[in-house]
Structure 1
């Protein structure tokens, strides 16, 4: 836990360093983050402790004494199997009840810190919303005391209708605030100001009126009086897949699936209607039908088939250009609609996959404790080394293999390349046969790899070939 907490500090050092936050707030954040680290800490702890314990037993010939007394490896492992099974149940309860609460606490704490310290939520290189204002800001770099100085500032300011009508760009800026003041002052230098002018006159709207100006210094004052009395423990009704327990995830997975199917069905009907596909055509009148039949007979006599060009040939040249232009325009509009809806659906289905992934990860985490014990305990008995040397190296290698397989599988599952259920269970399922193999080897009192039997196997193959060659 100590190692992973330090890793977390390095990950979030940019968010908290130099923001004027006291040690109590940072300590509270790390305390809320500790349950989330348990899904990595517990499997590694079980694996390492089992290798160390059984390696020490084997190194001191305590297993030899047990076997001489008639106690097998399975019987020696039985109390720990019961304990690890109980630990798996506790881990499952922890993942289902405690971790979602801690995720909610972390989210609320970070949001409330951002309200108290506006500079803390301005992330370099991306647009960030300023709490309590209608401004959306992007900066290339923050520097100076409390990150008060900004470089290459872009601001989008929303109107009452939540539309970005104002764009401000400046080469540099400075955030000026005081704990005793309710005013946040943003001073911009060397920039441009652009504003879309709203008008009720339809003729003027078609002209798209706007205002543009250059400035050397531009000051924006924002009243933050509602933010200064913020309670850092204030709760918000916001939930992601990590903030939900199994019952909530199961319910939301069904809802998301139904919503996605309904959305795809409605969009497909809309596209089919716009394309005119599968729509019964009106029968042509007698004159038109005679012309079509005549054209068909001419084509049949020439041995040609009805295709797009032959259908167009039924119409006058001026009408053909109109048909082609209309078809190109309709196709272009449909492709644009499909591309826009594709991005929306990808986001919705990614959320759906994340919920499935989070649901099965809770079960996989509990089972991984048991499986990694069956990997570590027999491995320790086989290598017969205690202490923190070789067992530590082997445990870290095995855990990194388990962890990175889980990370890669999870990322593939999020993007839809593999099934989310496989993404959640892949690393655990890979460790399962390894645990069975090592347990069988340790029970039979064999080494990790019997090179003698492998050599005998190949010798037998070569002897058979020699006999066949002689005959």
Structure 2
């Protein structure tokens, strides 16, 4: 490697690792802030919180790495241009592409490493972080209760859903406006408890956690044996000043926080697993749609699927004269009006009501099935999106380098001022296009592959244009060629007039 290549590469690597460390710290604090309330003050200890942050860091790479490449390339080449180092290179006959040669090799290598990281490290990290949060919620019941929403609170013996308006106090032990839906053995919520306040009381020596509710009401739906009594929907209601619920956590106290559970989403799968699941999910969805279509068709009694006839029967049908078949069809009913006219009034009402009920039932079935199929296809689309995002992330690092390097040479400014502003604006454009495209892709509005690649494909022509302008020593926004074209056009027009 020549001295120039080593110099350019060393300056780029310095800016690259400096930018990466600064950005990863910023994104860690921004991400941890979202769920710090569920970790801090729960008696978890520094080790558990440290493990959570350690598992969380790899999930930030898809955001931090493209911004790092963009920012470090702008900083490096902006500093070169500002210090007239590029002018010295060009005076020596060294072009921009020649100066970028060592960095191009490094960025290509970085793209391969990024794909390996996205395919192997990030899925493992996502699964570790998910399992850690789930196991923490088991061991620390207060962490399982989220303010403002119903949270599954599974103890041993019976389960319940708890919703609280606010948690406060030491380890979030005090609760305001508590609503509890207790579950039966059949997982049916037939008991509702409402209380103005509550408190979680536990002891290190005891396997029982007490949930003490104060100033509330108890509602229970009764299940009588007689059908006549069931129609009355009987229930019991009582008021209490203090009501205590004991939760046995003896099985949960032995919970291993590092235990891996067989829970996987699209973000927790590598390329091989995604391709396999995409194929199986696609076939399963098609089978579900075909089965549902056949079910609806048979229920409607319309649009029957033609069945293959036996060849012997076809030959027999050909022997039968056409006139005899026409005579047989004279007595058949060919319209709905003809059918209704042949019936009595009460029969007409019965037929119409039955048809109305049948259509209503079919429509309700279609609506409910539509929601299920939408969830299935959204799950299927998210797998395709995750698969292509792994490739798009690797390529985006390469493309954003070709955006940032010529842009830095054009703006001719180093430091963390203007380059940082330009890098953030470009990255936010790239990031939000990716977010909106991903959401549209999950809903099925656009193809998931396009949703993963759209932001990268938009940056591709920008990188080509900026590289051409930087090579030709043109500014960021040049309108001179437009005015030159206009002058040339009118010049030819005027010259032609004079000749005439």
Q: How does the TM-score come out when normalised to structure 1?
A: 0.90
Matching residue of 1:443: 471
Tell me if the contact between 1:59 and 1:385 (Cα under 8 Å) persists in the aligned partners.
yes
Evaluate the alpha carbon distance shift between residue 72 and residue 194 of structure 1 in structure 2; reply closer, same or farther with a 3 A threshold: same
Pair 1:86-2:114 in alignment: no
Matching residue of 1:300: none
Matching residue of 1:53: 76
- Cα distance in 1 for partners of 2:216, 2:256 equals 37
Matching residue of 1:429: 457
Matching residue of 1:456: 484
- Cα distance in 2 for partners of 1:64, 1:428 equals 31
5 Å-filtered alignment, 1:307-346, equals 308-309=336-337, 311-346=339-374
Q: 39, 45, 48: which one pairs with 1:16?
A: 39
Q: 420, 424, 431: which one pairs with 1:392?
A: 420
- Cα distance in 2 for partners of 1:47, 1:89 equals 17
User: What CA deviation, in whole Å up to 9, does each residue of 1:156-179 have, x standing for no partner?
Assistant: 222222332322222322222223
Matching residue of 2:405: 377
Matching residue of 2:383: 355
- Cα distance in 1 for partners of 2:117, 2:478 equals 41
Once the 2 structures are TM-superposed, how far is the Cα of residue 36 of structure 1 from its aligned partner? 0.4
Matching residue of 2:170: 145
Pair 1:181-2:206 in alignment: yes
- Cα distance in 2 for partners of 1:155, 1:144 equals 21
Pair 1:26-2:54 in alignment: no
Matching residue of 1:66: 89
Tell me if the contact between 1:193 and 1:212 (Cα under 8 Å) persists in the aligned partners.
yes
Evaluate the alpha carbon distance shift between residue 58 and residue 310 of structure 1 in structure 2; reply closer, same or farther with a 3 A threshold: same
Which of 350-359 and 131-140 deviates more?
A: 131-140
Pair 1:112-2:140 in alignment: no
Matching residue of 1:303: none
Once the 2 structures are TM-superposed, how far is the Cα of residue 109 of structure 1 from its aligned partner? 0.8
Q: 284, 295, 302: which one pairs with 1:270?
A: 295
5 Å-filtered alignment, 1:133-282, equals 133=156, 134-198=159-223, 210-279=235-304
Which of 214-223 and 319-328 deviates more?
A: 214-223
- Cα distance in 2 for partners of 1:194, 1:290 equals 66
Once the 2 structures are TM-superposed, how far is the Cα of residue 135 of structure 1 from its aligned partner? 1.3
Once the 2 structures are TM-superposed, how far is the Cα of residue 463 of structure 1 from its aligned partner? 5.8
Once the 2 structures are TM-superposed, how far is the Cα of residue 292 of structure 1 from its aligned partner? 5.5
Any idea what SS the aligned residue of 1:130 has? strand
Evaluate the alpha carbon distance shift between residue 389 and residue 318 of structure 1 in structure 2; reply closer, same or farther with a 3 A threshold: same
- Cα distance in 1 for partners of 2:205, 2:493 equals 92
- Cα distance in 2 for partners of 1:273, 1:191 equals 52
Structure 2 unmatched ranges of 5 or more: 1-23, 306-325
User: What CA deviation, in whole Å up to 9, does each residue of 1:247-280 have, x standing for no partner?
Assistant: 0011011111111111111111111111111349
Evaluate the alpha carbon distance shift between residue 464 and residue 19 of structure 1 in structure 2; reply closer, same or farther with a 3 A threshold: farther
Which of 13-22 and 414-423 deviates more?
A: 13-22
User: What CA deviation, in whole Å up to 9, does each residue of 1:54-113 have, x standing for no partner?
Assistant: 111111222222222222211111111000000010000000000011001101110111
How many matched pairs? 455
- Cα distance in 1 for partners of 2:486, 2:178 equals 71
Any idea what SS the aligned residue of 1:157 has? strand
Once the 2 structures are TM-superposed, how far is the Cα of residue 422 of structure 1 from its aligned partner? 0.8
Tell me if the contact between 1:51 and 1:380 (Cα under 8 Å) persists in the aligned partners.
yes
Any idea what SS the aligned residue of 1:4 has? helix
Tell me if the contact between 1:292 and 1:314 (Cα under 8 Å) persists in the aligned partners.
no
Structure 1 unmatched ranges of 5 or more: 281-285, 297-305
Q: How does the TM-score come out when normalised to structure 2?
A: 0.85
Any idea what SS the aligned residue of 1:331 has? helix
User: What CA deviation, in whole Å up to 9, does each residue of 1:36-62 have, x standing for no partner?
Assistant: 001111111111111111111111222
Q: 412, 416, 423: which one pairs with 2:444?
A: 416
Once the 2 structures are TM-superposed, how far is the Cα of residue 467 of structure 1 from its aligned partner? 7.8
- Cα distance in 2 for partners of 1:131, 1:465 equals 84
Evaluate the alpha carbon distance shift between residue 310 and residue 20 of structure 1 in structure 2; reply closer, same or farther with a 3 A threshold: same
- Cα distance in 2 for partners of 1:457, 1:12 equals 58
- Cα distance in 2 for partners of 1:190, 1:122 equals 20
Evaluate the alpha carbon distance shift between residue 466 and residue 71 of structure 1 in structure 2; reply closer, same or farther with a 3 A threshold: closer
User: What CA deviation, in whole Å up to 9, does each residue of 1:297-350 have, x standing for no partner?
Assistant: xxxxxxxxx5x4454233222211111100110011111111111111111111
- Cα distance in 1 for partners of 2:435, 2:303 equals 46
Any idea what SS the aligned residue of 1:220 has? strand
